Structure 1
Amino acid sequence: MFHDIRAVLFDLDGTLIDSAPDLGAAADQMRTDRGLPSLPMARYRPMAGAGARGMLGEAFGIGPEHPEFASLREEFFENYESRMTQRTTIFEGIPDLIDHILQRNLVWGVVTNKAARFTEPLTRAISLFATAGAVISGDTASHPKPHPAPLLEAASRLQLRPEQCIYVGDDERDIVAGLAANMGTVAAAYGYLGAKVDPKAWGAHATIKYPKELLQLLA
């Protein structure tokens, strides 16, 4: 499907790594610290792709408009920062996928909305990322996704044109950003998608149910 591709870019949480256990635990600690009952991980998991907004929404039923959201978000960040590699794992099939990408003489990178405060220590701690050609965080470029700026920054760092890259992500904003950047787009349907979400409605060029299906799309 995709031709003359030189690089594969990925979202991080829900696409390459399963960080839901650590994200959920960080939010749940906030509940138990306040004497509230713990919630099952199944409650947090579908919201993991939405970061602090999703976790605090599930834990306390509040959104960014709540007057205490900013302070609660920082508490959540501190909890997460202290545990972010404890239970986070790489999705099954991702290491083999990266190996095959490298064997095809392609480069790969990460474009995430996760702040560099978390992205940099996390990717340093996981050996998979040693071969990544670029790691772009949510505060690296002038705007986060769904703006195309982070993806364009990644292409620039790899010294490639945007149309030489494809972007793989598990959220609609990933596909919106990829299309705006003039990249090929692939929706990852194996991440944190809830039952009510249809990734085929996002307008991506392709959808994959397993990581290695991506190889079939690369000519």
Structure 2
Amino acid sequence: MFQHIRAVLFDLDGTLIDSAPDLGAAADKMRTDRGLPSLPLERYRPMAGAGARGMLGEAFGMSPEHPEFLVMREEFFVNYESRMTELTTIFDGVPEMVGRILGRELAWGVVTNKSARFTEPLTRAIPLFQTAGAVVSGDTTPHAKPHPAPLLEAAARLKLSPEQCIYVGDDERDIVAGLAAGMGTVAATYGYLGIKSDPSEWGAHATIKSPLELLQLLAST
């Protein structure tokens, strides 16, 4: 489907790694520290792609407009920072997918809205990411997704044009950013689809239900 591709870029949480258990635990600790009952992971998982906003929204019904949001967000960040890799796992099929991408002499990289405060230690701790040609965080450029700037930065680091890259993500903002950057886009429906998300409405060039399905789209590259 995708022609003349030289690199595959991925979102991180919900696309390459399942970080929902650690994100949820960081928010849930805030509840139990306040004497509130624990919530099951199933409550947090659909909101994991929204980061602190999603976790605090689920744990406390708190929006970013709440006067205490910034203080609560930093408490969440500290909790998460202390346990980022305790329960986080790589999605099934991702290591094989990355290995076969490399086997085709294609580059790969990560473009995430996670800030470098978390992205850098997390990717250093997981051997899979040692072969990534670029890792761009949410605060690497002045704009985060859905702005195309982080994706364009990743392409530049790989010394490729945007048209030579495709971007794979599990959130609508990933597809919006990829399209704005002029890249091929793939919606990963195995990730953290929010309650009201409908990937068929995102406008992606393709959709995959598992990581290994991506390889079929790259068959002719």
Class of the TM-score when normalised by the shorter of the 2 chains = over 0.9
**CA deviation profile, 1:116-164 (whole Å, cap 9, x unmatched):** 0000000000000000000000000110000000000000000000000
The residue that corresponds to 2:104 in the other structure is 104
Q: Which residue of 2 aligns with 1:205?
A: 205
Identity of aligned residues (%): 81
Query: C-alpha distance in 2, partners of 1:136/1:192?
Result: 20
Aligned to 1:130: 130
Pairing 1:152–2:152 present: yes
2:121 aligns with: 121
SS for the counterpart of 1:211 is coil
Shift of 1:194: 4.1
Q: Matches of 2:40 and 2:136 in 1, distance apart? A: 32
Question: Counterparts of 1:29-108 in structure 2 under 5 Å?
Answer: 29-108=29-108
Offset at residue 196 of structure 1 (A): 3.9
Write the deviation string for residues 42-91 of structure 1: whole angstroms up to 9, x where unpaired: 00000000000000000000100000000000000000000000000000
Partner of 1:167: helix, strand, or coil?
A: strand
1:154-195: CA deviations, max 9, x gaps?
000000000000000000000000000000000000001145
Q: Which amino acid aligns with 1:6?
A: R
Over residues 12-62 of structure 1, what are the superposed CA-to-partner deviations in whole Å (9 max), with x where a residue is unaligned? 000000000000000000000000000000000000000000000000001
**What is the aligned residue count?**
219
The one-letter code of the counterpart of 2:65 is: E
CA distance in 1, matches of 2:41, 2:56: 13
Distance (whole Å) between structure 2 residues aligned to residue 200 and residue 98 of structure 1 = 25
RMSD: 0.6
Cα 1:210–1:183 change in 2 (3 A) is same
TM-score, normalised via structure 1 length? 0.99
User: Cα distance 1:207–1:84, how it changes in 2: closer, same or farther (>3 A)?
Assistant: same
Consecutive unaligned residues in structure 1, runs of 5 or more: none
Structure 2 CA distance for aligned equivalents of residues 40 and 95 of structure 1: 28
Displaced runs of 4 or more, over 3 A: none
Q: Which amino acid aligns with 1:42?
A: E
How far apart are the structure 2 equivalents of 1:8 and 1:74?
Answer: 33
3-state SS, counterpart of residue 212 of structure 2: helix
